[in-house]
Chain A
């Protein structure tokens, strides 16, 4: 059972425009969410996170929105740049044993930004 879902396997946008990546989750106990970016043959790079006590968090060109009632979050990248082309993973952090979290990843969305 997939607890974190990214229903769009791929997204293509023009340079300078907005990229919107979506993520849904099923477990209402999840209360912390993260976005990671991954290039091929590299480890994921942390981008931005949001706690459930907020509905928006912004860091430069990246903004994450959280809609708790819909169990939905989205990552907005404005303006998109060709270097943003990568796989983007949404993840939730569930409290594990000893208060050390377990990341649960979505399937990823491949973003292509065309020059």
Chain B
């Protein structure tokens, strides 16, 4: 299994809603990542988990809350988002270590109304 899966594919939410994005991989990777991509821009790193522990937080607002319940799963909990948070949210995974390729999921297209 060489796939990173993400659910849901699309999500529309109001500014007062609470929702979660889910990511799963079964490649035995011990590093997992959340990226945000706005239209016509490159992906930007949000969070990195290494061995289920948060190792990098790129100064992301607290309305985004990551969680790594086990080595295969990564969640991103969303609360009180703003319309400017609308974007494609990408999950990735890699073998632990700097010099390893990151494999991306298909992303969740989030729209905040």
Contacts and interface: CB of A to CB of B under 8 A. Distances in A.
A43 B105 contact: yes
Nearest to A105: B42
A99 B98 contact: yes
Q: Which range holds the interface residue count of chain A?
A: 20 to 34
A56 to B, nearest CB: 17
Interface string A76-106: 0000000000000100011111111111011
B99 to A, nearest CB: 5
Contacts of A44: 43, 90, 104
Interface in B16-46: 31, 33, 35, 41-45
Interface of B: 4, 6, 31, 33, 35, 41-45, 48, 50, 53, 55-56, 88, 90, 92, 94, 96-107, 109
The 7 closest A-B pairs by CB, nearest first: A43-B104, A105-B42, A101-B98, A95-B98, A98-B55, A100-B50, A98-B50
